[in-house]
Amino acid sequence: MADKNEEIIDSPAGWVAKHIRTYVESGGTEGQQYAGRDLLLLTTRGRKSGKLRRTALYYGVDNGRYILVASKGGDPHHPLWYLNLLEDPNVIVQVGPEVFSAVARRATEEEKPALWQMMVDMFPNYAAYQKKTSREIPVVVVERSSARG
C-alpha cells in the first residue's frame, strides 16, 4: 500500500494525534489502550489527497478479524477514514508492536447485528451515538492481507 518513506499524516484531533505519537514513538509498547479499551492504528489512503492518513480506533476481535465502528461520535457524516477505505480498502494496521497490511470492508447485513452488539457491549456509547444520528453507523471488518506490510 505504501512506500516505506511515504509520509503518514496523523489525525488532526488533539487527543488522537497525541495518542498516535505515543503509540508510534514507543514502537507500540505504549498506547494500545485508551480509557481501558483496546486501540489500534488504522492508516488509509485519502480518497481526494492520495496521502496516507492515520487514526486511532477502538476495536474488537472476531475470528481473527478486527472489528471497527465508524461512529464519529454520532455525527451526521461518516468519518473520513471510513470514506477513504470505501474508495481504497487496502489499509495498514498497527496493533501493539505489530504492523501489517489488511483489507477493510463494511460488514454485510448478515454479519452486522452480531458484530454491532459485540462492539456495543465493549463500548456502550456506540448505541447512544446511533440514537443521536439518522445515518446508519457502519461496522467495518478488517482482515489481514497475505502480503506483509
Per-residue pLDDT tens over the stretch 3-17: 677 899 998 878 888
Is position 85 within any domain? Answer: yes
pLDDT greater than 50 at residue 104 = yes
Residues 48-67, mean pLDDT to the nearest whole number = 96
Is position 76 within any domain? Answer: yes
Is position 41 within any domain? Answer: yes
Is position 1 within any domain? Answer: no
Is position 126 within any domain? Answer: yes
Position with higher pLDDT, 18 vs 118: 118
Domain that holds residue 38: 8-144
Is position 2 within any domain? Answer: no
pLDDT greater than 70 at residue 47 = yes
* H or E stretch covering 80: helix 80-87
| Cell numbers that stand for 69 in this block | 465502528
* H or E stretch covering 29: none
Q: So what's the pLDDT on residue 74?
A: 95
pLDDT greater than 60 at residue 89 = yes
Is position 67 within any domain? Answer: yes
DSSP letter at 146? S
Q: So what's the pLDDT on residue 16?
A: 86
Q: 122 near 33, Cβ under 8 Å? A: no
Is position 3 within any domain? Answer: no
Separation of first and last alpha carbons in the chain: 8
pLDDT greater than 50 at residue 149 = no
Q: So what's the pLDDT on residue 2?
A: 65
Count of CB atoms within 10 A of residue 37's CB? 12
pLDDT-derived band at 82 (thresholds 50, 70, 90) equals very high
Q: What is the CATH number of the domain that holds 127?
A: 2.30.110.10
**What is the percentage of the chain residues whose pLDDT exceeds 70?**
96
Total count of domains within the chain: 1
